[in-house]
Chains A and B, each alone.
Chain A
């Protein structure tokens, strides 16, 4: 194992900076989120017999549409309604955004290079940070002093709990197989045997469905149901804050698919550490991002196929089929661990 631990090499600080701000941190987030939203609208356009965004930057098929949208959001007047709880109202989306991106700091994304914050059970830490997210959505809804926002945030709370538990169980069940809570070791274990998705398909299925729900993709885009709840928890937001609130779902999708790619799709595999740090860093990250992008593309494609579930149906699905499947995933992991792969 070729860890570059803290202060072991002089490039450590540079690497930390790159990890957080360029790849796979904020720079990649910005570019990928813009591209994914564009791809979502473009795919929807294809399925729906139309062009999709095209007017802004026609040469590259309207890919800069979201940049134009962002500029518009930032220039729009940002209204804070009179009756809202101002501190909570302003803090909640910012904190939700923050807690959505923090897990990246714990994720090893390239062979032979440790993440900026390296602790042994980093998978556990990531899951802990991730499970904080619904709190801010609830705060958003309650602080907004709006019935639709309130109902939306309650829906979010119900759904989050019913899907986060199977998600965490299914992710942990793979950890049983690999016998470690360290993402780096999980990838290494996969390089020695099969990819996680082959080792435990139940867990992969549950995790992917749960990701769809947690990040608010169709058919689980329930808390923001436009036709009855206006914009769900974010009804009272306008201007830049609305843009942020809208982007949180996609940023979460990015982070979750990164985690999924590492745990189930072998992260940066098939390459392994070559000793050349620059080469490893760039290639490892790009392979990981490609895997995550494919997962994100599938997730956004579902928008053009499915409507949204009703809240009780989605919750029931979460607590019945998905939970049972995650139980099966645990059982399967134990069988593999105890019988086949000792």
Chain B
């Protein structure tokens, strides 16, 4: 099997690169382990598995009896402060998912959101020149009907907790990265 690349058509730089390769000091040769020592390796695998039976190390959380409280700055659901809003409609312009629609209130355009479309990129929050959006970390919303996801202005000015149907969730836990266990969950408050 031969390499049939038309030499003349090739970019000289690429040609040189293919011929030369990289600086060999930057190449880490990975060698596959030699086959053999089957018994030893079986025992190793079994013992490693058994280690976790004896000393469990759970990464998951017992949702919904316990739930995760995300760190500061988590991009959750948000509300609009229609007093601060100046009606510049930039949020509508920048929204990549067309989730924001503008409604008229006292001759001012104010945004409402369709939670079914929102991708929580926060472009609207960041582009607002007057910080009219108030963000929360609230994220586990459960809507049972599509219509519920279309907010009215009255709803969108409320905090999500006050109008979004939510699942009954137990205690909130903070995620802590742990060197030995990966993730640890510490009760909030």
CB pair A301–B53 under 8 Å, yes or no, is: yes
- Contact across chains for A50 and B60 when beta carbons are under 8 A apart: yes
Q: Is the CB of A305 within 8 A of B46?
A: yes
Is B58 in contact with A51, judged by CB distance below 8 angstroms?
Answer: yes
Binary contact readout A298-311 vs B (1 if CB under 8 angstroms, 0 otherwise): 00010011100000
> Which residue of B is nearest A42, CB measured?
B53
Is A54 on the interface with B (CB-CB < 8 A)? yes
Q: How far is the CB of B187 from chain A (nearest CB, A)?
A: 18
Chain B residues contacting A43 (CB-CB under 8 Å) are 53
**Nearest CB of A to B32, in Å:** 18
What's the tally of chain A residues with a CB closer than 8 Å to chain B?
A: 12
- Tell whether, in the assembled complex, residue A49 and residue B62 are in contact, meaning their CB atoms are under 8 Å apart: no
Q: Are B46 and A49 touching (Cβ within 8 A)?
A: no
Q: Which of chain A's residues have a CB closer than 8 A to the CB of B62?
A: 51, 54
Residue in chain A with minimal CB distance to B61: A51
Report whether A304 and B60 are in contact in the complex, using a CB–CB cutoff of 8 Å: no
CA distance A48 to B59 in the complex (A): 9
Is B49 touching A50 in the complex (CB atoms < 8 A)? Answer: no
Closest CB-CB distance, A298 to chain B, in whole Å?
Answer: 9
Contact A47 B52 (CB under 8 A): yes
CB of A49 within 8 A of CB of B182, answer yes
Asked whether, in the complex, the Cβ of B53 is within 8 Å of the Cβ of A50, the reply is no
Q: Which residues of A contact B53 (CB under 8 A)?
A: 43, 46-47, 301
CB of A42 to closest CB in B, whole Å? 9
B71: chain A residues at CB < 8 Å are none
Identify the closest chain A residue to B57 (Cβ).
Answer: A49
The answer to whether A304 and B58 have CB atoms under 8 Å apart is no
Contacts of A301 in B (CB 8 A): 49-50, 53
Which of A50, A304, A305 contacts B59 (CB under 8 A)? A50
Q: Mark A201-232, 1 if CB is under 8 A from B, else 0.
A: 00000000000000000000000000000000
Instruction: Count chain A CB atoms within 10 A of each CB in B53, B57, B59, B62 and give the residue with the most.
Output: B53
Chain A window 303-323, contacts with chain B (Cβ cutoff 8 Å), 1 for yes, 0 for no: 011100000000000000000
Interface string of B139-165 (1 = CB under 8 A from A): 000000000000000000000000000
Q: Are B56 and A306 in contact (CB under 8 A)?
A: no
Q: Which residue of A lies closest to B49 (CB)?
A: A305
Tell me the smallest distance from the CB of B12 to a CB of chain A, in Å.
46
CB contact between A306 and one of B45, B52, B58, B59 (< 8 Å): that residue: B45
B144: shortest Cβ distance to chain A, in Å?
Answer: 21
A54 to B50, CA, bound (A): 21
> Measured between alpha carbons, how far is A225 from B53 in the docked complex, in Å?
25
Q: 8 nearest interchain CB pairs?
A: A305-B49, A47-B52, A49-B59, A50-B60, A46-B56, A46-B53, A47-B49, A305-B45
A residues neighboring B (CB under 8 Å): 43, 46-51, 54, 301, 304-306
26 intermolecular pairs with C-beta atoms under 8 Å apart: A43-B53, A46-B52, A46-B53, A47-B49, A47-B52, A47-B53, A48-B52, A49-B52, A49-B56, A49-B57, A49-B58, A49-B60, A49-B182, A50-B58, A50-B60, A51-B58, A51-B62, A54-B62, A301-B49, A301-B53, A304-B49, A305-B45, A305-B46, A305-B48, A305-B49, A306-B45
